[in-house]
Amino acid sequence: MNTESDLVAYRPGDHRDPAVDVLFVALLGGDPALSPSRHVLTDVDVVEFGRGDRSVCRDCRDGLRRLVIHIPDPLLSRQHGQLTHAYGTWQLDVGQAKNAAAIDGVRTRAGRLSRGQLLALGNTILFIAREPASEALDLDATALSAPQPELATFHRDLAASIDRMARLAGSAIPMLVLGETGTGKEVAARAIHALSGRLGSFVAVNCAAIAPTLLEAELFGHRRAAFSGATTERLGHLRTSDHGTLFLDEIAELALPAQAALLRALQEREVVPVGATLPVPVDLRVVAATHRDLEAMVNQGRFREDLYARLAGFTLHLPPLRARRTDLGLLIAALLRRQSSAARAKITWPAGTQLFRYTWPRNIRELERALEIAVPLAGAGPITVDCLPEAVRGAPVPQVAPTSQLDPEAAAGNQLALVDQSAAGPTNAPDAVALPAAASVSARARDDMGDVQRADRDRVLRALHDCAWNQTRAAKQLGISRTTLVTKLGLYRIPRPRN
């Protein structure tokens, strides 16, 4: 892919909107091993797609700023189609490509692509999202920095938090990881331990799974014969994690008496095993996690404020998977790499559409289970819809029917007032009756254009007028191909003449 220095001429200006349209190539050719990518669409008029070795380039041809993406997808044609931007909308046209496209699972050759809708080109899944502006215009997933593959993210705020977490990992600061069940809290805790350089073990404790009567013995250990059934001495989780990391999952489930005992051990950095009289020093790093709102529990008196202050040295918030759709391709690849039987697993576009359409209420853990089911069911073939769990197969289809052909007015997302019929060209122009106001758009719509676009649009209209609305002659006068002229007509919302 082009480096950022290659694209300096197309870097957006200092006054761009805080949020911009961003194209995510989320699943390339149905092959999760090919890294997804993110492309800022500011100052892009046309996005062109085609089959070829993986590459991305930006250029300006025929007065249009283009982003050209080549994808190693055998179902794509060499020039498969394009997205054209005008007045805040993106218009799809795959022309005469051998295989049609699909928008939200509905096959089509042309139509409007709204933000969030899934576009399938061959076995490649793409979508456009509204995101904060970014200096990196084209970002490949291989350039993402993450302590674990499952923590790689295109989400800017999450990436910044993970970066801070990584920089603090070598310190003794305790960390609190918050997020819904299945969002990867233990993965984050293990990454912290791996980055910490601590020589001891990583010890994970599910606080909700320990019986209250045994909790102190489990955490602090016990001496032999300290209580009935204690036939041997046990170190306990805190001493087992000495010089290492203690991960306290579901910390909110600890009873208040256990919270007090844990607080003392963390403050004094020593434990007194059950049945012992002398404290034992411990050197450990604590990472706690919960899906509950600890601050609310503190206000309700259900969690000790002093323990909360002791645990929350740095807090990492992991968003639910439904809020990380842009990372779904990254996560699918990372989870498939865990399965030895999933080497080079492929995913058909209908299955990919369902994976991206489903809301994943049980988050990454549910995605992992779905892939563990799908891979053996697929066998030597690609993962199809039938290989997915029933809940994923049944993900609702958005009730959006893309238009069957390019319609400049309908695709604009609003009604453009057609005015000044005298601008439509001479009355003796061929098919003039079919073009009652072909040369005009509303003043408001024209004002939405930049100076370059307005000048180019006026140049196109003058050529059409001079050539009696004959597209072939107008294109020749403009020094461009007829195909490029047709693209400009769609871009500038000029209804297309029939000749």
DSSP sequence for 28-53? STT-TTSPPEEEE-TT-SEEEEEESS
Query: If you compute the radius of gyration of the chain from its CA atoms, what whole number of angstroms results?
Result: 29
**Cα 365 to Cα 132: distance, rounded to the nearest angstrom:** 28
Most confident of 78-87, 118-127, 471-480: 118-127
Tokens of 7: 């694209």
What does DSSP assign to residue 383? B
Q: What is the pLDDT of residues 92-145, one digit of tens each?
A: 999 888 888 999 999 999 999 999 999 999 999 999 999 987 788 999 999 998
Q: Which fold has domain 324-393?
A: Helicase, Ruva Protein; domain 3 (1.10.8)
Element at 462 (helix H, strand E): helix 451-466
* pTM over 0.95, yes/no: no
C-alpha distances (whole Å) from 312 to each of 50, 72, 173, 249, 300 are 50, 46, 9, 14, 18
Helix axes 185-196, 156-168, angle to 10 degrees: 40
Tokens of 304: 């000790």
The model's confidence at residue 11, banded by pLDDT at 50, 70 and 90, is: very low
Longest CA–CA separation in the chain, Å: 108
pLDDT: is 488 or 128 the higher one? Answer: 128
Whole-number pLDDT of residue 450 = 59
Up-side HSE of residue 223: CA atoms within 13 Å toward CB? 12
- Contact, 304 vs 259, CB < 8 A? yes
Average pLDDT, the chain: 82
Up-side HSE of residue 497: CA atoms within 13 Å toward CB? 25
C-alpha distances (whole Å) from 377 to each of 60, 133, 189, 334 are 47, 41, 32, 19
For the chain, the structural domain boundaries read 156-318, 324-393, 416-491
Q: What is the pLDDT of residues 34-65, one digit of tens each?
A: 999 999 998 899 999 999 999 999 999 888 99
Q: What is the pLDDT of residues 425-462, one digit of tens each?
A: 333 333 322 333 333 343 444 444 556 677 778 888 88
- Contact, 86 vs 490, CB < 8 A? yes
* Cβ neighbours of residue 498 closer than 8 Å, sequence gap 6 or more: 430, 431, 434
- Closest of 9, 131, 130, 122 to residue 353, by C-alpha: 122
What does DSSP assign to residue 152? -
How many CB atoms neighbour CB 96 within 10 A? Answer: 8
Domain 156-318 coded CATH 3.40.50.300: yes
The model's confidence at residue 189, banded by pLDDT at 50, 70 and 90, is: very high
Element at 106 (helix H, strand E): strand 106-108
Per DSSP, helices labelled H in 20-155 are none
- Res 364 pLDDT > 80: yes
**Cα 451 to Cα 440: distance, rounded to the nearest angstrom:** 17
Tell me the DSSP string of 262-324.
HHHHHHHTEE--BT-SS-EE---EEEEEESS-HHHHHHTTSS-HHHHHHH-SEEEEE--GGG-
Whole-number pLDDT of residue 354 = 96
**Cα 276 to Cα 107: distance, rounded to the nearest angstrom:** 72
- Contact, 407 vs 111, CB < 8 A? no
- Res 473 pLDDT > 90: no
- Closest of 391, 272, 370, 376 to residue 328, by C-alpha: 370
Q: What is the pLDDT of residues 308-359, one digit of tens each?
A: 999 999 999 999 999 999 999 999 999 998 887 766 889 999 999 999 999 9
Whole-number pLDDT of residue 232 = 67
**Cα 415 to Cα 106: distance, rounded to the nearest angstrom:** 25
pLDDT > 70 in the chain, percent: 81
pLDDT: is 1 or 229 the higher one? Answer: 229
**The domains spanning 156-318 and 324-393 adopt the same CATH topology:** no
**Cα 187 to Cα 190: distance, rounded to the nearest angstrom:** 5
Phi, psi for residue 66 in degrees, rounded to 5: -120, 145
Tokens of 421: 């019929």
**Cα 229 to Cα 297: distance, rounded to the nearest angstrom:** 35
Whole-number pLDDT of residue 76 = 95
**Cα 152 to Cα 163: distance, rounded to the nearest angstrom:** 10
pLDDT mean over 491-496: 74
The count of residues in the chain is 499
How many CB atoms neighbour CB 90 within 10 A? Answer: 24
